[in-house]
Amino acid sequence: MNLNEIAKKMCAKGKGILAADESTGTIAKRFKSINVENLEKNRLNFRQTLFNASAMKEFIGGVILFDETIKQKSTLGPTIPELIFKHGAIPGIKVDKGAKPLAGSSEETITEGLDGLRERLNEYYNLGARFTKWRAVYKISGKFPSIQSIKSNAHALARYAALVQEAKMVPIIEPEVLMDGSHNIDKCYAVTTDVLNECYNELEVHKIDLKGTVLKPNMIVPGTECKDKSSSDEIAKKTLDCLKKNVPNEVPGIAFLSGGQSEIEASKNLNAINKINDTNFLITFSYGRGLQASALKEFGKNQNNIVNIQQAFNHRAKMNGLSSKGEWSEDLEKGPVA
């Protein structure tokens, strides 16, 4: 498969991406919330339970893994990438080394991980990865995000993308404008516009083949502390408008992060966007919490109750699969689980 075919398969209609690439620190927070010890065997157990679920074949086009997971063997024999491949999805890998303090800006971050990336990419390719992820983070607060943060993170994303395409993998470009704060939806729209513009400027400078990329953006939503709440219809309209104005047509797939939305909000908003999607973009999900929160709760109740954990995951995967086609409805949330 060439890069464009891989990108289209990851975001195929009715399917999306499972972001199971929490770093050891992030999964520690998730496990703490369900009183599970953050041990390698528990991380493997939770993740392989999801990768073996029946929803994988129908609703998941790609799975983003963390360094530890891509090197693990499932307890049933195959390696984790082999298991994902067997279930019809493409294995991918988070390759950034996290958001670190940005020198010269007191409250912002720059995503690191470019040093030695070429060698790591070759290793990941040999382990079975066919796409990668790099997340840049922007916070809205007072004068932030600064031009320094917008420019430096876009530059790093473009250098990352160039190395990834050289290694014959599809880069997911993830510029995440955080939901934290009291800003309104129009501020989110304005900041996301600036961020996307700078990213695509840099991607052009670095001669990235956009047909072989996937964009993973935030939706256009008000800050979590904003008094003015927005309807799904407003979120959908503003999100689609922002993407149409700032994302080049050659980009085949756009897969949103859930960013702290509840599972149902994330499905409802994605559905509303797809209902009015009049573009050629394949618009879908690349959710972490939006796909795993209920399954994680079941895992916390009983780590060995594979049926309940998989049922919770199957249901969310199915709901989001429907949302990627604009066919989700609130009633389906009450229906029998998949």
Interface contacts to ligand 13P, rule CB under 6 A: 19, 135, 174, 257-259, 287-290
Beta strands in 52-188 (DSSP E): 60-65, 90-94, 99-101, 109-111, 131-138, 170-177
By residue count, the chain amounts to 338
Nearer to ligand 13P, 21 or 198 (CB): 21
Nearer to ligand 13P, 223 or 259 (CB): 259
Nearer to ligand 13P, 153 or 258 (CB): 258
Long-range CB contact pairs, 1-6, < 8 A, 24+? 1/130, 2/212, 3/165, 3/168, 3/169, 3/170, 3/209, 3/211, 3/212, 3/213, 4/211, 4/212, 4/252, 6/90, 6/130, 6/131, 6/169, 6/170, 6/212
Nearer to ligand 13P, 166 or 225 (CB): 225
**Catalytic pick among 216, 238, 268, 318:** 216
DSSP bridge partners of 284: 255
Q: Is residue 211 classed as helix, strand or coil in its secondary structure?
A: helix
Residue nearest to ligand 13P (CB): 288
Nearer to ligand 13P, 281 or 285 (CB): 285
Task: Give me 166's structure tokens.
Answer: 């050289």
Beta strands in 236-334 (DSSP E): 253-256, 282-287
Pairing relationship of beta strands 99-101 and 109-111 according to DSSP bridges: antiparallel
H or E element that contains 215 = strand 214-215
Q: Are 255 and 287 in contact (CB under 8 A)?
A: no
Nearer to ligand 13P, 82 or 265 (CB): 265
- Give yes or no: 216 in active site: yes
**Catalytic pick among 174, 176, 198, 298:** 174
Integer Cα distance of 197 and 17 in angstroms: 24
Q: Are 184 and 156 in contact (CB under 8 A)?
A: no
- Give yes or no: 229 in active site: no
- Upstream peptide bond of 78 is cis (omega within 30 degrees of 0): no
Residue with tokens 């720059």: 110
Nearer to ligand 13P, 238 or 316 (CB): 316
Smallest separation, CB 173 to ligand 13P (Å): 12
Smallest separation, CB 316 to ligand 13P (Å): 11
Smallest separation, CB 177 to ligand 13P (Å): 12
Smallest separation, CB 162 to ligand 13P (Å): 21
Integer Cα distance of 165 and 208 in angstroms: 8
Amino acid at 14: G
Cite the active site residues: 174, 216
